[in-house]
Structure 1
Amino acid sequence: MSSPRVDGRSLRFQHRRPELLAAATEYVLEHGVTDLSLRPVAQALGVTHATLLRHFSSKDGLIMAVLENIRTDLAAQWASDTELSGARSTAELVKAGWKRLCEPKQQRQFLLLFELVGHYGWKPDRDRDLVESVVEDWIAVLADRLGRDGWSPEDSTALATLLLAQVRGLQLDLLVSGDRERADRALDFAVRLLDRPTA
């Protein structure tokens, strides 16, 4: 029985995948996905089109890898941020997180999310991984924190869904209007609802 054939070119670039993914993530965050094509991405990253295909298989594969990279990077940043990891309540966590998410470099992820939804539509049956990455994972994080604040599991999930929708809706408002003061006031009003787990 012969052993499976190994593609030497794939092995040669295997160690470069994290580097390529980080660079591709920056490219996608700066240029969006509406007119995304692998050849310009490859040229910008200084690799061949074939190299990108070996690592990501297709444009959709690259986009999914970028979204997962954004999610894991953000989760790692939040875990290492002492203000966020040391938040004594969900309200503190949401307020501190909002401040981080309003930084221009972080806001790019919302532009990308809105572009994906607007351009490609949303098909939960087809885009199961995407749904998990941008919706369910964050609801789970917020629901867990709410549970530690005394909310029931059912209410935690509902309230986490509401919080996630508010943050994303306010980010859309902020990106369009630029009115940070009004968006901040709206978020402060929303987190007041978190103080009454027995209501």
Structure 2
Amino acid sequence: MDGRTLRHQHRKPELLAAVTEYVLDHGIGDVSLRPIALTLGITHATLLRHFSSKEELLLQVVGKIHSDFLVRLEHDEDLRAAKSTPEFLRTVWRRLCEPEEQRQFVLLFELVGRAAREPERTGNLVQSIVSDWLIPIEERLTRDGRSPGEVSVLATMVLAQIRGLQLDLLVTGDRARVDKAFDFTVELASRPSIR
């Protein structure tokens, strides 16, 4: 790192928060560092000092979205009070259906499309958009006494359902039908054993 980057390192969290909001609002379709910098009122060089490339920036944006969500999980009174995995999952689902939270799914679907088309450029990104999001579900299932084999399978199923049903909800707006489908997923995940 050069001296200037070190001097301005304290700005990185602030810049990352602003860039994250920009990406959530505008997507990644034709995004480049110059328009982001212009919108944020900084120079392109400033962004490059903090994010070496567009791919690095996107990786950090995805990481920030994930870490912000974990902080919200930790401080959400309803989630902390959830006494079972079904109660926890239903509360998470309600939170994820809020318009502010749904922006992350629009971005996720863009990133998945990009990863499918350019897997060589998105390896770390794919890892973070899958594995990192399984962890809170796995932790809750483990706390409820599920075996390690069940935890992995159930967490994968629940995460896939959350994402698939969010896609359906974003496209159709049919909240009642999608909520019923999610409730059914929760019921399946709550069965004593998946053998």
TM-score under structure 1 normalisation?
0.91
Which residue of the other structure, out of 170, 178, 189, is the alignment partner of 1:175? Answer: 170
Shift of 1:85: 2.0
Larger Rg: 1 or 2?
1
Shift of 1:145: 1.3
Q: Give 1:153's aligned amino acid.
A: P
Which residue of the other structure, out of 18, 28, 31, is the alignment partner of 1:36? Answer: 31
Does structure 1 residue 89 correspond to structure 2 residue 84? Answer: yes
Partner of 2:54: 59
Partner of 2:187: 192
Structure 1 segment 1-199 matched on structure 2, within 5 A = 7-121=2-116, 127-198=122-193
Closer/same/farther in 2, CA of residues 164 and 122 from structure 1, 3 Å limit: farther
Closer/same/farther in 2, CA of residues 161 and 50 from structure 1, 3 Å limit: same
- Aligned residue for 2:8, secondary structure, equals helix
Q: Flag the structure with higher helix content.
A: 2
Closer/same/farther in 2, CA of residues 163 and 125 from structure 1, 3 Å limit: farther
Shift of 1:190: 1.2
Closer/same/farther in 2, CA of residues 115 and 196 from structure 1, 3 Å limit: same
RMSD of equivalent CA atoms: 1.7
Write the deviation string for residues 40-86 of structure 1: whole angstroms up to 9, x where unpaired: 00011111000000000111111111110101001111111011122
Percent identical residues: 57
Is 1:38–1:52's contact at 8 Å kept on the other side of the alignment? yes
Q: Give 1:180's aligned amino acid.
A: R
Closer/same/farther in 2, CA of residues 187 and 173 from structure 1, 3 Å limit: same
Structure 1 alignment gaps of length 5 or more: 1-5
The worse-fitting range, judged by mean Cα deviation, of 121-130 and 42-51 is: 121-130
Closer/same/farther in 2, CA of residues 44 and 184 from structure 1, 3 Å limit: same
Is 1:79–1:85's contact at 8 Å kept on the other side of the alignment? yes
Is 1:38–1:59's contact at 8 Å kept on the other side of the alignment? yes
The worse-fitting range, judged by mean Cα deviation, of 145-154 and 181-190 is: 145-154
The worse-fitting range, judged by mean Cα deviation, of 126-135 and 57-66 is: 126-135
| Residues paired across the two proteins, number | 194
CA distance in 2, matches of 1:151, 1:37: 44
Is 1:140–1:157's contact at 8 Å kept on the other side of the alignment? no
Is 1:149–1:197's contact at 8 Å kept on the other side of the alignment? no
Closer/same/farther in 2, CA of residues 130 and 122 from structure 1, 3 Å limit: farther
TM-score under structure 2 normalisation?
0.92
